[in-house]
Amino acid sequence: MENFTLARVIHVIAVILWIGGVAMVTTVIIPAVKNLKTKEDQIKTLEQIEGRFAFQAKITTLLTGLTGFYMMYELDAWDRYLDYRFWWIHAMTLVWILFTLILYVLEPFLLHKLFVKYADKNPAKKFSFIHRAHWMLLMFSLITIAGAVAGSHGWFLIK
């Protein structure tokens, strides 16, 4: 049980650092970068900041996944994947898969090249698209967190 509680503590701290960072990038950094004067400054600044954050996020996503699956194993809760009342378990797993794909596969191999290409051609459009994508990921993550806290403490929104 102590190991389980430790896993929960690490899970929640990793989620705070990770999704808190996504909130900071979405609500503060991207709007500030949009206001920079030249497109060269915009591209360079966002790349530097997101690059550093991506490194941290890779570690926190990994910790979240490891501790999450460990808790699933300890609780022997795999059948929750077959029960719609545990939609927040599906949501946690989906958020995790999405970010893992973005951070480990799409960003390094595809998104980075696309960002430089399109940001150079039409920076305003590109930054608006990036901003919207961040807002969607942030909203989905916050709904997931609300559902996970309520659900894991026994409050089921769907009976």
Positions in the binding site for ligand HEM (CB under 6 A) = 8, 11-12, 15, 19, 64-65, 68-69, 71-72, 75, 77, 92-93, 95-96, 141, 144-145, 148-149, 152-153
Q: Which is nearer to ligand HEM, 12 or 36 (CB)?
A: 12
Of 5, 59, 21, which Cα lies nearest the Cα of 137?
21
Nearest distance from C-beta of residue 71 to ligand HEM, angstroms: 4
Q: Which is nearer to ligand HEM, 11 or 126 (CB)?
A: 11
State the residue number with the nearest CB to ligand HEM.
68
Nearest distance from C-beta of residue 1 to ligand HEM, angstroms: 12
Tokens standing for residue 53: 């954050």
Nearest distance from C-beta of residue 45 to ligand HEM, angstroms: 27
Alpha carbon distance 131, 33 (integer Å):
11
Residue with tokens 């994947």: 81
Q: Which is nearer to ligand HEM, 8 or 112 (CB)?
A: 8
CA distances from 15 to 8, 44, 47, 96, 124 (A): 10, 27, 23, 10, 31
Q: Determine contact, residues 43/114, Cβ cutoff 8 Å.
A: no
Q: Which is nearer to ligand HEM, 1 or 121 (CB)?
A: 1
Nearest distance from C-beta of residue 52 to ligand HEM, angstroms: 21
Q: Determine contact, residues 80/126, Cβ cutoff 8 Å.
A: no
Nearest distance from C-beta of residue 34 to ligand HEM, angstroms: 26
End-to-end CA, the chain: 28
